[in-house]
Amino acid sequence: MFTDKESFKQAYLMKLIEGEGINLNDATHWDQFVALVILVKEKMSYYRAINQNSMSQGKQVYYFSMEFLIGRLLLNYLVNFKIEDLVREGLAELNINLDDLLEQEADPGLGNGGLGRLAACFLDSMAFLGIEGHGNGIRYKYGLFEQKIVAGNQVEVADNWLKNGYPWEIRKQNRAVVVKFKGNIRTEQNEGRLTFYHENYEQVLAVPYDVPILSYENCSYINNLRLWSAETTCGELDLVCFNRGEFNQATSFKSEVEAISYILYPDDSSRAGRELRLKQEYFFVAAGLGSIVRSYKKKGINSLQEFSRRVAVHINDTHPVLCIPELMRILMDEEGMGWDESWNITVNTMSFTNHTIMPEAMEKWPIDLFKGLLPRIYLIIEEIDRRFKESLVRKFLDNEEVVRNTQILKDGYVWMVNLAIIGSSSVNGVAKLHTEILKEEVFKEYNRIFGYKFNNKTNGVNHRRFLLTANPKLSRLITDAIGPSWKEEAGELQKLHGLKNDRSFLEQLAKVKYENKCRLAERVKTKQGIDLDPLSIFDVQVKRIHAYKRQLLNVLKIMHLYNKAINDPESLTTSHTFIFGGKAAPGYHYAKTVIKLINALSQKIEHDPKVNQKLKVVFLENFNVTQGEFIYPAADISEQISTASKEASGTGNMKFMMNGALTLGTLDGANVEINEAVGKDNIFIFGLTAEQVLHYTRYGGMPTPTLERV
């Protein structure tokens, strides 16, 4: 295995020639990329082998999430192995630019936005901290659509991220798990115990694909992201049907099964309630828990009584909440435990994060649909609900509202968030303000019953991806100034305080920002043919398009500047480039219209010679993790202007801030904590507080005559 530049070059050339039968001159960027991937994978296998010997018996953490937005991995692996410079220089000596190879890698769009990226950041952090923490999700054949802008409108194109194969995944056929849907439940009394038999079900084979999550620095910590793919249990086709001549039936069953992991649903909470989504949710939950229990037993621990001491399962929003009844099912129906013991183990194993306060985004399923698809899971939920209500009636006899607002089965629906709170030992919000709103407003009844469960975990981001790797120039400047320890411990960045009046440092800082703006401008020119002026102020709002995030407010502000400039061109003292980016859910008409409006405004200004030297609006196509890595380092101003109380936390706000952008924002989500941390020179706050907004929504009009502005 290579250890220095020369041995790397040799190994690399050998891979090209031996592995792919290509010599350097004939190799395309793709061939060159593949050769590097193979070398990195070999390095990983080497560390894996070392790690096998020191397999810990420590607690295993499983992060269940419908979404993981992991971004590209090649550079992440090179940085974590601390071989980026060696590889970059070695390749340069072979006349290969590492950046060209990085561009070959697909960015798997297996998530909608913040929630999915948070899951990926947690995997990175757990690996770094030496926590044995693994992701469990779905290997969607198609990720979130790729966004194109045609005549100012968003057009969705399928995200075929697997078309060239995904080099980092390893299919583990022998770890496949059978998942059962539909059918009926027969009960029988066996030795005084009611036993449940699931019959006439349809079975689906869940096949795992593992992606390695490598720790920064300590390369022997390699965790796993396990993504499940749905297949038929009988190989290619239902041969029995096929041989009987029932061709259509055989092929349609196959496609019905494969549909489960076919595509990621866009965050379109208002149009929830589709059976396929529920199938997806149970599919990866049952597969994941099945494999956890199997590997738990393999370790030779006979009794599952120890389970919650050795295993933690985290539920990322309500999407994987079926973990709760599914673990109950396994413990009772497969392991023969009683209800109380199973319930204790289950609650102590599960923890849950809520990511929203918006009532329309709370997941609920029509009972009839639910019962038909998951008959045994439904019975368990019914029993959880019954027992919960029974315990409530004892404690809250007086309070009908408490009973009504906390039950799982209500108005013909299964309310997933209620199941999550009742069945977990910890419930957290994602920023201080958000958690307060959960405790005092959204879940106030639960807070009376289970106050001890509620806690806050303010979101964070992986500064090694979004600063160290995405912004190499700033990273070098920081390291020269305060040493390298900030790479492991982000808190060390505080040392930069000492340089706040250091002229030379500040000049270099400005130079880095300028160069990052040039880098973004170059990329935008190549990708969209648009010229950006790096000398103008880059004022950026990139995030999903949503009413509460208020891209429209930003547009109105720009229109105001434009109108002013028409009458008085001198009113614009500096030139501004307003940059937007973000996807709209395909069914969200309002959000799509906002995109159209931004592009219309962009055209209008572009064609107005009175202002087009000073003002520009651009919409960047297909905002994703990779685009973000170019955008955050290049921003002067970060727009974080959601209606106070609506943005649970936000994480883009942190990525911009750590790359030296000033924030224009409202007191919402984690902006509140950023405000406390960075002070008035770095964040500019406007608008109502969350309390004022909530008061306004509840009572109408203005909350108090002396409305105080922050």
Among left, alpha and beta (phi > 0; psi -120 to 50; other), residue 638 is beta
What is the 8-class DSSP label of residue 437? Answer: H
Q: Could you tell me which stretch among 18-26, 253-261, 264-272, 598-606 binds ligand 26Q (CB under 6 A)?
A: 264-272
Q: 113 vs 375, which CB is nearer to ligand 26Q?
A: 113
Q: Could you tell me which stretch among 51-59, 96-104, 110-118, 154-162 binds ligand 26Q (CB under 6 A)?
A: 110-118
Residue from 213, 430, 579, 634 touching ligand 26Q (CB under 6 A): that is 430
Tokens read off for 296: 């738990």
Helix (H, G, I), strand (E, B) or coil at 190: strand
Instruction: Give the binding-site size for ligand 26Q (rule: CB under 6 A).
Output: 20
**Nearest Cα to Cα of residue 124 among 75, 175, 171:** 75
**Nearest Cα to Cα of residue 668 among 652, 646, 697:** 646
Burial class (CB in 10 A: 0-12, 13-18, 19+), 657: buried
State which amino acid sits at residue 190. Answer: N
Nearest 5°: the CA angle 446, 67, 296 is 80
Examine residue 649 and tell whether it contacts ligand 26Q (CB under 6 A): yes
Least Å from the CB of residue 595 to ligand 26Q? 19
Active site residue 329: no
Active site residue 434: no
- Other beta carbons within 10 Å of 237: 15
Active site residue 560: no
Among left, alpha and beta (phi > 0; psi -120 to 50; other), residue 525 is alpha
Examine residue 517 and tell whether it contacts ligand 26Q (CB under 6 A): no
Examine residue 112 and tell whether it contacts ligand 26Q (CB under 6 A): yes
Examine residue 588 and tell whether it contacts ligand 26Q (CB under 6 A): no
Among left, alpha and beta (phi > 0; psi -120 to 50; other), residue 471 is beta
Tokens read off for 356: 């929203």
Residue from 118, 286, 470, 598 touching ligand 26Q (CB under 6 A): that is 118
Contact 342, 87 (CB under 8 A): no
Examine residue 268 and tell whether it contacts ligand 26Q (CB under 6 A): yes
Residue from 183, 582, 628, 669 touching ligand 26Q (CB under 6 A): that is 669
Tokens read off for 524: 């935008």
Q: Rounded to an integer, what distance in angstroms lies between the CA atom of residue 442 and that of residue 435? A: 10
Least Å from the CB of residue 237 to ligand 26Q? 31
Tokens read off for 222: 């390699």
Examine residue 269 and tell whether it contacts ligand 26Q (CB under 6 A): yes
Least Å from the CB of residue 532 to ligand 26Q? 28
Examine residue 645 and tell whether it contacts ligand 26Q (CB under 6 A): no
Q: 185 to each of 78, 198, 374, 377, 409, how far by Cα in Å?
A: 52, 5, 10, 10, 20
Least Å from the CB of residue 516 to ligand 26Q? 24
Contact 272, 360 (CB under 8 A): no
Q: 220 to each of 5, 54, 171, 217, 223, how far by Cα in Å?
A: 22, 9, 21, 9, 9
Residue with tokens 């039950």: 407
Q: Could you tell me which stretch among 172-180, 223-231, 268-276, 684-692 binds ligand 26Q (CB under 6 A)?
A: 268-276
Q: Which of 279, 355, 614, 616 is catalytic?
A: 355
Examine residue 355 and tell whether it contacts ligand 26Q (CB under 6 A): yes
Q: 228 vs 486, which CB is nearer to ligand 26Q?
A: 228
456: Cβ contacts below 8 Å, ≥ 6 apart: 428, 429, 430, 431, 432, 434, 435
Contact 666, 687 (CB under 8 A): yes
Q: Rounded to an integer, what distance in angstroms lies between the CA atom of residue 467 and that of residue 448? A: 41
Q: 90 vs 669, which CB is nearer to ligand 26Q?
A: 669
Examine residue 387 and tell whether it contacts ligand 26Q (CB under 6 A): no
Q: 231 vs 317, which CB is nearer to ligand 26Q?
A: 317
Q: 462 vs 649, which CB is nearer to ligand 26Q?
A: 649
Examine residue 277 and tell whether it contacts ligand 26Q (CB under 6 A): yes
Q: Could you tell me which stretch among 295-303, 516-524, 641-649, 656-664 binds ligand 26Q (CB under 6 A)?
A: 641-649
Q: 264 vs 561, which CB is nearer to ligand 26Q?
A: 264
Q: 51 vs 456, which CB is nearer to ligand 26Q?
A: 456
Q: Which of residues 126-185 bind ligand 26Q (CB under 6 A)?
A: none
Q: Could you tell me which stretch among 114-122, 124-132, 176-184, 482-490 binds ligand 26Q (CB under 6 A)?
A: 114-122
Contact 220, 51 (CB under 8 A): yes
Active site residue 616: no
Please name the helix (run of DSSP H) or strand (run of DSSP E) that holds residue 282, with its range, or none: helix 275-298
Q: Which of 544, 576, 583, 614 is catalytic?
A: 544
Residue from 650, 665, 687, 703 touching ligand 26Q (CB under 6 A): that is 650
Residue from 104, 257, 647, 654 touching ligand 26Q (CB under 6 A): that is 647
Examine residue 90 and tell whether it contacts ligand 26Q (CB under 6 A): no
State which amino acid sits at residue 527. Answer: K
Q: Rounded to an integer, what distance in angstroms lies between the CA atom of residue 166 and that of residue 73? A: 11
**Nearest Cα to Cα of residue 646 among 499, 544, 538, 506:** 544
Q: Which of 543, 576, 614, 616 is catalytic?
A: 543
Residue with tokens 């909530």: 694
Cα 15 from chain centre: 34
Examine residue 459 and tell whether it contacts ligand 26Q (CB under 6 A): yes
Q: Could you tell me which stretch among 51-59, 109-117, 608-616, 617-625 binds ligand 26Q (CB under 6 A)?
A: 109-117
Least Å from the CB of residue 277 to ligand 26Q? 5
Enumerate the H helices of 550-670 as residue ranges.
Answer: 551-567, 589-606, 625-631, 652-658
Active site residue 28: no
Least Å from the CB of residue 546 to ligand 26Q? 8
Examine residue 272 and tell whether it contacts ligand 26Q (CB under 6 A): yes
Q: Rounded to an integer, what distance in angstroms lies between the CA atom of residue 444 and that of residue 185? A: 37
Least Å from the CB of residue 273 to ligand 26Q? 8
Q: Which of 9, 139, 549, 646 is catalytic?
A: 549
Q: 423 vs 669, which CB is nearer to ligand 26Q?
A: 669
Examine residue 648 and tell whether it contacts ligand 26Q (CB under 6 A): yes
Examine residue 115 and tell whether it contacts ligand 26Q (CB under 6 A): yes
Examine residue 462 and tell whether it contacts ligand 26Q (CB under 6 A): no
Active site residue 544: yes
Helix (H, G, I), strand (E, B) or coil at 609: coil
DSSP per-residue codes, 193-239: EEEEEEES-EEEEEEEEEEEEEPSS-TT-EEEEEEEEEE-TTTTS-H
Contact 17, 34 (CB under 8 A): no
Examine residue 420 and tell whether it contacts ligand 26Q (CB under 6 A): no
Q: 32 vs 462, which CB is nearer to ligand 26Q?
A: 462
Examine residue 114 and tell whether it contacts ligand 26Q (CB under 6 A): yes
Residue from 71, 108, 113, 423 touching ligand 26Q (CB under 6 A): that is 113
347: Cβ contacts below 8 Å, ≥ 6 apart: 423, 424, 425
Q: Rounded to an integer, what distance in angstroms lies between the CA atom of residue 314 and that of residue 309? A: 14
Q: 222 vs 362, which CB is nearer to ligand 26Q?
A: 362
Examine residue 416 and tell whether it contacts ligand 26Q (CB under 6 A): no
Q: Could you tell me which stretch among 127-135, 263-271, 331-339, 488-496 binds ligand 26Q (CB under 6 A)?
A: 263-271
Examine residue 672 and tell whether it contacts ligand 26Q (CB under 6 A): no
Question: What is the b/e burial string over 483-501, where b = at least 16 CB atoms within 10 angstroms of the residue's CB?
Answer: eeebbeebeeeeebeebee
Q: 227 vs 521, which CB is nearer to ligand 26Q?
A: 227
Examine residue 582 and tell whether it contacts ligand 26Q (CB under 6 A): no
Q: 381 to each of 33, 386, 567, how far by Cα in Å?
A: 49, 8, 65
**What is the contact surface with ligand 26Q in residues (CB under 6 A)?**
112-115, 118, 265, 267-269, 272, 277, 355, 430, 459, 647-651, 669
Give catalytic residues, as residue numbers.
355, 543-544, 549, 651, 655
